[in-house]
Amino acid sequence: MARLLLGNSLKNAVKRLPPLQQFLWAIEAAVFGLFMGISRRLSPERASALGRRLFRVIGPRLDKTRIFRRNLTLAFPEKSTGEIEALIRGIWGNVGAVLAEYPHLPAYAVPGDPQRLEIVNNSDSQTFQGNGKPAVFVSAHLANWEIPAAAVRRLGIPASGLYTPLQNPWLDRSLHKVRARLGVGLLPRDGGIRALVRELGRGKSIGLLVDQRVDSGVPVPFFGLDMHTSTTPARLALRYHCDLIPVRVQRLGDARFRVTFEKPIRPSAGNTDEQQQILDMTRQLNKLFEVWIREQPQDWLCSKRRWPKDARRH
């Protein structure tokens, strides 16, 4: 959260001054708590709309906008400066909507208003047939990236998701409580592969968000430029004979979503080498994410650098 709102320059400065960092964390937690309190008292739709309007104004003035602008310029070289700036405002608006929707997330995990959460299952996976076979669910930072967990829970599939704890301990505890109420297990990213393997061994599906750059990953095309991409989803799916199922979340309006479980990604026919299969499946996944993002770029959270600093369009 601090990285998103404060930006890298201020973040690096306060790291050298622990008392200042604690002070800023306390202020951040207080502001966030006030925002959550207001959102909780509103309907999901009104809270979402308020967050969107607020952040469309505040967001573009924050330091993190530099990262948005660079990622969007590289991903969409055909767009004009004005179109990029409009996308930036839209993305910040979506960030505000997501934050305002946090107090209402638990309601999405139980049967309720179908207009708020529409679930579409295009998958032929046995995971949805009640035989207990786990799957590797993968999604991207689109619309509200917490909603797929609610959809998995609503379908009655035991699952755990990997998450990155926030640096601010107060905010981390606050968001952890909300996420825990979704009924999906939470695995800190520090546990890494071992935690994921343990859950699969217990017959539980796992969920990951994998559209970001991973320094330890392998170069895989993303919007025509190589991005260091995690191969963990494909590797686990192959090794533990699980389906790799992409999950798309689309924002249909304020606090209204569609979650689509796509057909499992499988190695191309005739490809028998395991490493090549892993790479092939990862390429397919990046290509699918790219299609989703192109259709709704204003809903893509691209707040972290996706490509090397020296990446250029030729």
Provide DSSP, 4-67.
Answer: HHHHHHHHHHHHT-HHHHHHHHHHHHHHHHHHHHHHHHS-HHHHHHHHHHHHHHHGGGSTTHHH
pLDDT at 310: 86
- Tokens of residue 249, six digits: 């979340």
pLDDT tens digit at each of 314 positions of the chain: 555 555 555 556 566 667 778 888 888 889 999 999 999 999 999 999 999 999 999 999 999 999 999 999 999 999 999 999 999 999 999 999 999 999 999 999 988 778 899 999 999 899 998 777 999 999 999 999 999 999 999 999 999 999 888 888 888 999 999 999 998 999 988 877 899 999 999 999 999 999 999 998 999 999 999 999 999 999 999 999 999 999 999 999 999 999 999 999 999 877 789 999 999 999 999 999 999 999 999 999 999 999 998 888 76
Q: Does residue 304 belong to any structural domain of this protein?
A: no
Contact indicator for 43, 282 with CB cutoff of 8 Å = no
The count of other CB atoms within 10 Å of the CB of residue 100 is 28
Give the residue from 191, 167, 166 showing the smallest Cα distance to 179: 166
Q: Does residue 309 belong to any structural domain of this protein?
A: no
Q: Rg for the chain (alpha carbons), in Å?
A: 19
| pTM given for the model | 0.92
pLDDT at 189: 84
Q: Does residue 311 belong to any structural domain of this protein?
A: no
Number of domains making up the chain: 1
Q: Does residue 307 belong to any structural domain of this protein?
A: no
pLDDT at 192: 77
pLDDT at 48: 98
pLDDT at 151: 96
The Cα–Cα gap between 279 and 248 comes to 21
Q: Does residue 87 belong to any structural domain of this protein?
A: yes
Q: Does residue 85 belong to any structural domain of this protein?
A: yes
Q: Does residue 310 belong to any structural domain of this protein?
A: no
Q: Does residue 190 belong to any structural domain of this protein?
A: yes
pLDDT at 5: 59
pLDDT at 88: 98
pLDDT at 13: 59
pLDDT at 165: 87
Domain with 121 in it = 2-299
pLDDT at 25: 85
